[in-house]
Structure 1
Amino acid sequence: MQVLDKTSLDTLKLINFQRGLAINLNKPPGWTSFQVVKAVRRLVKTKVGHAGTLDPFATGVLIVCTGNATKQINLFMDYEKEYLATLELGKITDTYDCTGVVLEEKKPPEVKLDQLQNVCEKFEGEINQVPPMYSAVKIRGTRLYKLARKGIIVEREPRKVRIKKIEIVSYDHPLVTLRVICSKGTYIRSLAHDIGKELGYGAHLKSLIRTRIGPYHIDNSLSIKEFEQAITY
């Protein structure tokens, strides 16, 4: 399937969006994945879908499919994902990320780099991960986030996910940035929370960038503005 990105913009005028293609977009902060889909649909005037939701605060690679290519969304969803995730140590939130209410806050001791790496390595391989309450996972037909908004906390069944690699990119206490390569279905928010729990003083996900879906990299991603300018001029 053809995937449109910065390297193939010169072919844009020849593209039949109804016939279908995928677009490698860089989701901006503050946008929902659905808002990106809506913006693309307005421009291409055909059906549009996306492969793999990013939370509004997150940025990075979002594969958007148009026309008949929407039938192949699962192909992209099955690819491994790569992220740059920044954790703030010592602070736990109800959403496991920077958008939530702070439930607990401690002044964490400065951990040695090798100790931090040892903790991260415990989460490599196939692991059982509990999805966060603020997620779209359904329990008896109801989305978890709908229950969470009502203050209802329920037991969640752990799910098997595979984390291929966790690499420490930078550490400026209490912030640590990790490069994570993982399977579909992995919640980076849960990973941040679990790493903090293992360290003994909590953590939450402060920022998140998806840098790759399969072979499609953020270096070649189009911004919404770049796509709009290319298609309208």
Structure 2
Amino acid sequence: MEKQGRSYSLEQKLYAITQFKRSGQSLTAFAKVLGIHRLVLEKWVGIEQTEGIKALEPSHGWKQYSQATKNAAIHDRLVNKLSLLDIVKKYQISSDSVLRGWLNQYTNGKEIKATSTGQSHMKQGRTTSYQERIEIVQYALAHEQDYQTTATHFKVSYQQVYTWVRKYQKNGSNALQDRRGKRLNREPEELSETERLKLRVKELEERNDFLETREELSKKLWEIQRRHQ
């Protein structure tokens, strides 16, 4: 079963695409063999065909979208009933989660504006707690390090998300503590034992999900490779 937040390397994506093309099977059938959702495989194939291999690499930059592009994408979804994947391909949107964000804004009556460049609308960021920073990092990792979507979701700056994720990946959750001045080492102590355990469980679940995903897909891809040798 497909799990939210699975992360795949460029090598895995390319091998999956290559074997799918050789298999002669339908997207649905081959995706089932790999143990991934059909839409995931369809997206990889579509990106490789229309934008090339380079576009399959994870992109952490801030992509600009005009107000007209956003409105056209929303119109195609709500009026023309195009699929999320078709719209993402048509307008070269970085991910379907970005498109969902626009749709949510529109259906909630919020004004759709052009995307600013380089960072989120929260340019200066905001103050966050230790627990919030861990949750934000976990969300970013679960969404393949989509910093833009994460920043918008939590109303923090793009730079904050990027920095926290890099710190977390390098040194773990302890690196997310606020170590300025008198606050050194105080935040973890302000959390209750239950809160600390919950955060630890979240960390382990996130890590286990990533490792299981990578191992499962790698095994399936190697099995397919052996069958075609």
TM-score, with length taken from structure 2 = 0.30
Please identify which structure carries the higher strand content: 1
TM-score, with length taken from structure 1 = 0.30
Structure number with larger C-alpha Rg: 2
